[in-house]
Homo-oligomer: A and B are copies of this chain.
Amino acid sequence: MHSFETTIGRLRSEGFKLTPQRLSVIRYLIGNKTHPTAAVIYGDLKKKYPSLSFSTVYNTLNMLEKISEVQSLHLFDDFLNYDPDISSHYHFVCRSCDSIIDIFPREGENVSLPEGDISGNRIESAQVVFKGMCKSCL
């Protein structure tokens, strides 16, 4: 996500109302380096905002995804993870402990993917998911 001010500004200009519930979700995500599920966000925020509902969490996440402030990740079978880091990076999932680790291209020796068109199809984005065993589990 962008900074709090920038994100708020974008939402305002898109016509979204900035309710306390939405702001709490946004504050939760900004600077968050994990990849929380809707359930985790709800669980954590519920402590501080007991009246928060699941619908509002999902509603806010979908709204943020629509304006590309978060990205949803299909890493597991039964639920989505949300990534507040919108910089270009990939993900590594450990098949043993299920941890999710960010992979930034510069760390890899040779990560390059096609851009532009392939066989006439226009590529606009790429999602890369590595699976294997993480450092701790090895």
A86 within 8 A of B: no
Verify A124–B113 contact, CB threshold 8 A.
Answer: no
* Contact bitstring A96-138, B, C-beta under 8 A = 1, else 0: 0000010100011111111000111111111111111111001
Verify B138–A132 contact, CB threshold 8 A.
Answer: no
Q: Which residues of B lie under 8 Å from residue A133 when comparing CB positions?
A: 121-122, 124
Q: Which residues of B lie under 8 Å from residue A135 when comparing CB positions?
A: 119-121
How many Å from the CB of A62 to the closest CB on chain B?
A: 11
Verify A123–B74 contact, CB threshold 8 A.
Answer: no
How distant is the Cα of A110 from the Cα of B75 in the complex, in angstroms? 25
Q: Which residues of B lie under 8 Å from residue A127 when comparing CB positions?
A: 128-131
**Chain B residue at minimum C-beta to C-beta distance from A124:** B132
Verify A129–B126 contact, CB threshold 8 A.
Answer: yes
How distant is the Cα of A120 from the Cα of B92 in the complex, in angstroms? 12
How distant is the Cα of A74 from the Cα of B128 in the complex, in angstroms? 12
